[in-house]
């Protein structure tokens, strides 16, 4: 337990002094809020700015390039904001996934004993995290829209994968993979049940079941069903024609630049977090695990990574939060996320107070929910009984 802190403030003063001080501060805050509100009402009246949320039902009249909901220019402002919010959530989720992948490989690379890999990963980290993200986004966007070959002249990176001025073109499934996804979900549940039973069994008898069995349980049926689906309805592969691409899926240059920029930039920070976390595990832990006869993979998985995660989760959480908030830089390169849709609506309706207030509230909710999830996860991986 921490010692009772701040004995200093006023231990021997009468409690009424603290009360008076707080009352004074409260009065000041109320006065300030009143002053601001008074000015606001006066100014809104003087400039005859409309107020209220009635505008949400008005027709937006502008188009949004990429949407997860059905949307056209006759839809309402409210729906436009919702579309923007979904785009923000999607870009943040994809960015978190990609930057974690990049961050873990670069972080492990920095720890590598190989004298080439370590400095290479170090150069990556220093180069990316010391340059503003906005500049990197502009740079990627310029590369994608100015320097790439035009449609019709773009070579395939991999079979069916093209990067051209019109964006990233990639093959998609011919139909929605509903059945394989259901099978995957069922497989995952079965695998979790299996792992739980295997743990109980191990606790009772000391005998271990191989972990790959659980994975096979989760993945095999889904993979088989996916293969059967592919056999009946083949992939939709983009075809390069002279003036553009036909078929396949497309990521616009805006979204591609945003995803590349966000993932590379945050990947550099995540690499540092993971490196620090792994280095914080006392070397004796790995040696002790080796002395107990654990193999290298087991040592990492069962001894080092769980202890490193405990250190890594809080800074990782704030990095994910940063990524979600940084996705608002989309406004600068024209990807229709929440911030840029909000900005367009402010310019059209002039109701900055309501729109920016709503946008900020949405980001606050998003931040608090990521923070809440990471707190829950932190409590799960934390030491039992630790503060």
Partner 1 sequence: MTGALENLWRRFFGSLGNSLLTLAVLALLALALPPLLRWALIDASFTAKTPLECRAAGGACWAFVHEKYRLILFGRYPYAEAWRPLAAMLVIVSLIGSACGGFIRPRSLPVALLVASTAVAALMWGGVFGLAYVESTSWGGLPLTLILSVSGIAIAFPLAIALALGRRSRLSLVSALCAAFIELMRGVPLVSLLFMASFMLPLFMPRHVQIDELLRALVAIALFSAAYLAEAIRGGLQGVPASQEEAARSLGLSPVRANLLVVVPQALRIAIPGIVNVFIALFKDTSLVGIVGLMDLLLATKQALGDPAWRSFALEAYLFVAALYFGPCFFMSRYSQALERKLRAGEGAS
Residue 117 found at the interface with partner 1 (CB under 8 A) = yes
Scanning 35-43, 89-97, 212-220, 240-248 for contacts with partner 1 by CB under 8 A, the matching segment is 35-43
Cα-only R_g, the chain: 27
End-to-end CA distance of the chain: 9
Mask of contacts with partner 1, 323-352, x by CB under 8 A? --xx-xx-xx------x---x--x-----x
Binding test (CB under 8 A) with partner 1, winner from 146, 232, 283, 291: 146
Binding test (CB under 8 A) with partner 1, winner from 86, 89, 139, 190: 139
Which residues make Cβ contacts (< 8 Å) with residue 141, sequence separation at least 6? 253, 254, 257, 333
3-state secondary structure of 122: helix
Binding test (CB under 8 A) with partner 1, winner from 97, 143, 156, 193: 143
Smallest separation, CB 47 to partner 1 (Å): 8
Residue 374 found at the interface with partner 1 (CB under 8 A) = no
Binding test (CB under 8 A) with partner 1, winner from 131, 156, 200, 282: 131
> Encoding tokens for residue 80?
């436009």
Q: How far apart are CA 131 and CA 37, in angstroms?
A: 39
CB 342 within 8 A of CB 356: yes
Smallest separation, CB 180 to partner 1 (Å): 34
Smallest separation, CB 291 to partner 1 (Å): 21
Smallest separation, CB 359 to partner 1 (Å): 6
Binding test (CB under 8 A) with partner 1, winner from 62, 138, 194, 209: 138
Binding test (CB under 8 A) with partner 1, winner from 30, 31, 54, 127: 127
Q: Which is nearer to partner 1, 153 or 353 (CB)?
A: 353
Q: Which is nearer to partner 1, 53 or 189 (CB)?
A: 53
- Eight-class DSSP state of 61: -
Q: Which is nearer to partner 1, 226 or 311 (CB)?
A: 311
Q: Please work out the total of residues on this chain that contact partner 1, with binding judged by CB under 8 A.
A: 64
Scanning 21-29, 157-165, 256-264, 304-312 for contacts with partner 1 by CB under 8 A, the matching segment is 21-29
For β-strands 244-246 and 161-164, DSSP reports them as unpaired
Scanning 73-81, 168-176, 178-186, 354-362 for contacts with partner 1 by CB under 8 A, the matching segment is 354-362
Chain center to CA of 383: 26
Scanning 23-31, 55-63, 97-105, 196-204 for contacts with partner 1 by CB under 8 A, the matching segment is 23-31
Give burial (CB, 10 Å; 0-12/13-18/19+) of 194. middle
Q: Which residues pair with 381 in a beta bridge?
A: none
Task: Give the Cβ contact number of residue 110 at 10 Å.
Answer: 21
Residue 93 found at the interface with partner 1 (CB under 8 A) = no
Residue 8 found at the interface with partner 1 (CB under 8 A) = yes
Which residues make Cβ contacts (< 8 Å) with residue 95, sequence separation at least 6? 259, 262, 263, 266, 323, 324, 327
Residue 356 found at the interface with partner 1 (CB under 8 A) = yes
Q: Which residues pair with 156 in a beta bridge?
A: 162
Q: Which is nearer to partner 1, 99 or 343 (CB)?
A: 343
Residue 288 found at the interface with partner 1 (CB under 8 A) = no
Closest to 246 in 3D by CA, of 172, 316, 158? 172
Closest to 332 in 3D by CA, of 271, 258, 241? 258
Smallest separation, CB 307 to partner 1 (Å): 22
CB 242 within 8 A of CB 113: no
Q: Which is nearer to partner 1, 71 or 140 (CB)?
A: 140
The torsion of the CA quartet 191, 194, 199, 202, rounded to 10 degrees, works out to -130
Which residues make Cβ contacts (< 8 Å) with residue 130, sequence separation at least 6? none
Residue 381 to residues 305, 310, 328, 376, Cα–Cα distance (Å) = 11, 6, 31, 9
The site for partner 1 (CB under 8 A) is made up of: 2-10, 18, 21-22, 25-26, 29, 36, 39-40, 42-44, 46, 112-117, 120, 126-127, 129-136, 138-139, 142-143, 146-147, 321, 325-326, 328-329, 331-332, 339, 343, 346, 352-353, 356, 359-360, 363-364, 367-368
């Amino acid at each position: 337990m921490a010692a009772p802190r701040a004995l200093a403030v006023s231990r021997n003063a009468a409690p009424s002094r603290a009360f008076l001080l707080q009352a004074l501060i409260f009065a000041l805050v109320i006065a300030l809020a009143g002053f601001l509100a008074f000015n606001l009402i006066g100014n809104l009246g003087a400039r005859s700015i409309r107020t209220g949320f009635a505008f949400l039902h008005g027709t937006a009249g502008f188009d949004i390039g990429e949407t997860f909901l059905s949307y056209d220019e006759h839809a309402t402002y409210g729906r436009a904001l919702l579309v923007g919010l979904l785009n923000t959530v999607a870009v943040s989720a994809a960015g978190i996934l990609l930057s974690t992948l990049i961050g873990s490989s670069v972080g492990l690379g920095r720890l590598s004993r190989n004298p080439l890999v370590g400095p290479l990963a170090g150069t990556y980290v220093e180069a990316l995290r010391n340059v503003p993200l906005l500049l990197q986004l502009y740079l990627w966007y310029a590369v994608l829209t100015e320097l790439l070959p035009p449609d019709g002249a773009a070579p395939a990176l991999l079979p069916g994968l093209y990067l051209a001025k019109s964006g990233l073109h990639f093959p998609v499934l011919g139909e929605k993979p509903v059945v394989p996804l259901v099978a995957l979900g069922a497989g995952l549940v079965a695998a979790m049940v299996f792992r739980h039973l295997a743990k109980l069994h191990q606790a009772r008898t000391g005998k271990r079941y191989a972990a790959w069995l659980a994975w096979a349980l989760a993945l095999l049926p889904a993979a088989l069903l996916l293969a059967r689906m592919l056999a009946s309805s083949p992939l939709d592969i983009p075809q390069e024609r002279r003036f553009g691409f036909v078929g396949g899926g497309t990521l616009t240059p805006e979204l591609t630049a945003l995803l590349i920029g966000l993932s590379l930039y945050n990947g550099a920070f995540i690499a540092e977090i993971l490196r620090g976390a792994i280095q914080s595990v006392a070397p004796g832990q790995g040696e002790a695990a080796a002395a107990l006869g654990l193999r290298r993979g087991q040592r990492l998985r069962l001894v080092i990574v769980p202890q490193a995660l405990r250190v890594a989760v809080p800074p990782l959480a704030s990095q994910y939060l940063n990524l979600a908030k940084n996705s608002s830089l989309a406004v600068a390169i024209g990807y229709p996320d929440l911030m840029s849709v909000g900005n367009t609506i402010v310019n059209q309706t002039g109701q900055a107070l309501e729109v920016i207030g709503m946008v900020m509230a949405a980001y606050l909710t998003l931040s608090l929910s990521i923070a809440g999830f990471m707190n829950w996860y932190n409590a799960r991986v934390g030491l039992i009984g630790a503060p």
